[in-house]
Chain A
Amino acid sequence: MERAAAIINALALALLAADSVAGSEVAKVPVESFELANGMKFLAVVRPELATVSAGWVARVGSANERPGITGMSHFFEHMMFKGSRTLGTRDIERDLEIIHEQEQLQDQMRAIYREQRERYRLGEIEDPFADEVRPPELVELQKRFDALTGEERELMVKDEYDRIYTAAGASGINAFTSEDVTVYFLTVPANKLELWFWMESDRLLSPVFREFYSERDVVHEERRLRTESTPTGEFDEVFDAMFWQSHPYSWPVVGWPSDLRSYSLDQAREYFETYYAPNNLTAALVGNFDLDEARALAERYFGRLRGREPAPDVVTLEMDPRAEKRMVAECDCQPQVEIRYHSVPFRHRDSYALEVLAGLLNGRSGRLYKSLVLERGLAADASASQDSRKYAGAFSLHAEAKGGASPSDLERALLEEIRKIVEEPIPERELQKVKNQITASAYQRLSGGFHLLIQLLLYDGLGDWEYLNDWAETTLAVGGADVKRVAERYLDPEERTVGLYYREPEGAEP
């Protein structure tokens, strides 16, 4: 026991020493921020020790901004943003735009036929309105004419020129991701080529051309098959999300419903771009070796060309208060497992910090879930907890995978028991201190690595405010045991939980 006490003191001192290294109580990132007249925001972190600049921008748009009929549009858009501009991607922009226009007229006619196909589907005349075998001859003919135009367009195209120029310039990690709340575009360039990033990114925002709009849908379909339909639990996780969110647009998947994916038009995409890709809805960030004044001048010169617009509409639908417990029972080719999810709070909500400390107490090898479910009771191979703070709402989840003969219901009971203990029993000070030590350490760890820092800045500013990066640790360190108990009691109400029980499908069963 004495030894343990000595260790606590040693660490308290040690952490104090760590603070003095950084010159403040907890580590902070020196971020310079500025805004252009058109409302576009820039965040800059100069790191002279690097040979590169990691650069990117976030559009404050994700699947939560969609509506039935255009689900998956935000993610689809992320793909379209790599298809070039009036300058990049074609040898003859005039003819290219004509072809796109002619193709769109054909697609309008095809959409009218698909409307009839849906009618036939509703009447039970066909099984699948999109199946090749049930296409009427007019549709086949239209598709042929469409394909011929695609062939002509391809002759004029400079394929994937955006990627080619960057790759030849030594850029790496050229990519993007879309979530429920944000769409983030990023890469790393050699430190001497920062201006290329300004040229390329402002160009694709200034005059994007959505080439290969319809063939790219096939790529997104394959992405959906890969991530959702061919994984052990993917399709059930989608069902679970749709069940958990009652009124909020978080209920549909980021990749979108397949039938919507088949139905978007170019006009819908353009309207989406105008609404959500205005400079006042964007934040850019640079982390690496560059001159701040020069970056500021480049930002003015290149992105200053974009025209500010009306603020994008807010997401007004609030999640309804849960009225009843919800349960999903699934059979899949998967380890028996359970997911318990509660409605909690969004990004930067005052209670989100205590919920993160709660997750910290539950996680890790010396955390409560592993100790209880894996080691002491031998029910689980793995168990974890997480607070998911999204822009408009949040969720707190408990998850466990079964071991031996334990059933998902056994796991559910064991997880709930751990929550009950948090609510009803005192939380030892040393246990809280452990979580806080980890927070102090991770406040430093998240600073190292330029690219990782870039992604955090963009993500946090997309969700609300990048300052979270710097005030997160301090705010979390102020959380006390009473706060943790209070949020556990308030948000983890057993009667308002949503539970997913996953059973292994018996051998030889029909899927």
Chain B
Amino acid sequence: MTAGWVLPILLSAAPQPIPTRPEELRFDELRFDVPDPARYRHELPNGIEVYVAPDSTFPLVSLRVQLRQGSYLEPENKVGLAGLTGSLIRAGGTENFDPARFDEEVEFRAAAISAFGGDSRAGANLDCITPVLDQAMDLFFEMLRHPRFDETRLEVEKENLLEAMRQRNDDPGDILGREWDWLLEGETFYRSRRMTKDHLDAIAREDLVRFHEKYWRPENMVVTVSGDVDPAKILAKLDSYLLDWPGEGVHADWPPPQPTHEPHPGAYHVEKDIPQGTVVLGHLVPRWTDWESPERAALQIMDHILGGGGFTSRITKRIRSDEGLAYDASSSFGFDALGPGSFTVSFQSKNDTVALATDIALEEIERIRTEPASDEEIAIAKASLIETFPRRFESAAQIAGTYAGDAFIGRSHEYWKNWRDQVRAVTADDVLRVARKYLKPDAIVFLVVGKWEEIAPGDAGGRASMKDLFGGEVTHLPLRDPLTLKVIP
């Protein structure tokens, strides 16, 4: 008999019978109240918001500084300046320590210190054991306030960036990410544009010094401290580092500018000789600022059902589990507080089944817009979102991080108090309504990196071909020179 080898053998004298199905198990109620944000939020005399979550379980401390600024503030001919400033703040030494000495001071204490400059967020992090906290904080704030921007280290960093650029066409995922950003937001928008060798050559030490002076300032900061600290003491220490920061206080323009590029729906392809096409399809969705809106919870449930909920979601189930067309297949509805978000479906499938997997994804997008989701699907999505909710607040670092995240984007902490009730209130009609309102089949941009000769005809079974999708038309995007980003002729 097929499975006779796994017949259960009951040996132990069970004190209670084991239920035949997991649904018969009964669980105690697990109460969870959202921690009171007022207990964690502080404000320094100069207005800097500080979130402190003490936890002395282990002798470990984490300090995070986030700044409301980013690459949107850099000149157009110096793309990459914000990022380079961030990395040189860490790598370029400080007033008192040359770069090698600074590295040595940090690593000898087994501390981890980093700094970065991103598109719409810059920041620096410190992680260390409590006994070295004072010395590590001295190093950390000296780095933030008095970076040396050592010329030699700048050259090393620039050379390394150049090497990173050379690899731009090596990994299909990198090509996909770049072209996708350009298709959606154009090649010149701050968060889609890419650095070229010309930009890199144009950036001099003086540019970094100025960028730091202007934008790495207390006025733009949100600070988070979690771990083995006494809140009163740590606040007094932060005062001592941050209150006498010299110079005029200037707030960076905030929020960053919005894109003006109009995406052109349709199919796009970049040629790469690999056995598997890597695909993203979707469109922009509006910038999200109304965090009280019940549409947010409805969209999260919609996303969970469509492709964001792992094996319980439709796109993963059909493309991976039913058809075996991909290892990863999922969707994501992205909420972005600072600019447009995006709705995307992503998967990788062997070249000749790209069309079939795409067909299924489009079918599922259409279905969630036209048919109400089942009660079971809604129930699973709700239960998952509600039951996993406490995990956002499980550790001191997570509590501090969650509330600091609110402060950074200007969202009220009250948002979390109502969140589970908003999820509970969502109905199948709500899901259908937001899917119709926010998913736009006519706006879909499809991008694949792979071997077109195999992708175009589709699978041998004749179940789908690229001819049947997007009006049978495709735009072949040329590969770009990795250093200039000019079209390779």
Contacts and interface: CB of A to CB of B under 8 A. Distances in A.
Interface in B321-343: 321-328
Given A163-B312, A215-B324, A401 B163 contact: yes
Contact of A168 (B164, B379, B395): B379
Given A51-B32, A170-B386, A366-B100, A403 B160 contact: yes
Interface stretch (B39-47, B191-199, B270-278): B270-278
A501 interface: no
Nearest to B379: A168
Contact of B58 (A14, A52, A82, A448): A448
Interface in A443-485: 444-445, 447-449
Given A168-B384, A192-B28, A7 B105 contact: yes
A190 B105 contact: no
Contacts of B15: 297, 301
Given A7-B108, A403-B159, A167 B310 contact: yes
A403 B163 contact: yes
Interface in B2-23: 2-3, 5-12, 14-16, 18-23
Interface string A421-443: 00000000010011001101110
A231 B276 CA distance: 10
B320 A219 contact: yes
Contact of A200 (B22, B111, B317, B321): B22
Nearest to B171: A232
B390 A51 contact: yes
Interface string A365-395: 1110001001100100110000000000000
A318 interface: no
Interface residues of A, number: 112
Contacts of B25: 195-196, 199
Interface string A288-302: 000000000100111
A403 to B, nearest CB: 5
Going nearest first, the 5 A-B pairs with the smallest beta carbon separation are A170-B387, A218-B324, A14-B131, A441-B110, A163-B311
A148 interface: no
Contacts of A511: 273
Nearest to A448: B58
B132 interface: yes
B344 interface: no
A441 B129 contact: yes
B483 interface: no
A433 B57 contact: no
B110 A438 contact: yes
B464 interface: no
B132 A11 contact: yes
Contact of B109 (A11, A374, A430): A11
Contacts of B349: 222
A323 B58 CA distance: 49
Interface of B: 1-3, 5-12, 14-16, 18-23, 25, 27-30, 32, 55, 57-60, 91, 100, 103-111, 127-132, 135, 156, 159-160, 163-164, 166-167, 169-172, 273-276, 278, 309-312, 317, 320-328, 348-350, 379-380, 383-384, 386-388, 390-391, 394-395, 460
Contact of A304 (B11, B16, B106, B326): B11
B463 to A, nearest CB: 12
Contacts of B276: 222, 225-226, 229-230
A120 interface: no
Given A51-B32, A441-B110, A333 B170 contact: yes
A145 interface: no
B10 to A, nearest CB: 6
Given A229-B274, A230-B276, A447-B58, A167 B384 contact: yes
B108 A444 contact: no
Given A195-B27, A444-B59, A226 B327 contact: yes
> Which of B3, B29, B55 has the largest number of chain A CB atoms within 10 A?
B3
Among A27, A101, A219, A305, which residue has the most Cβ atoms of chain B within 10 A? A219
Contact of B6 (A206, A302, A364): A206
A49 interface: yes
A18 B131 contact: yes
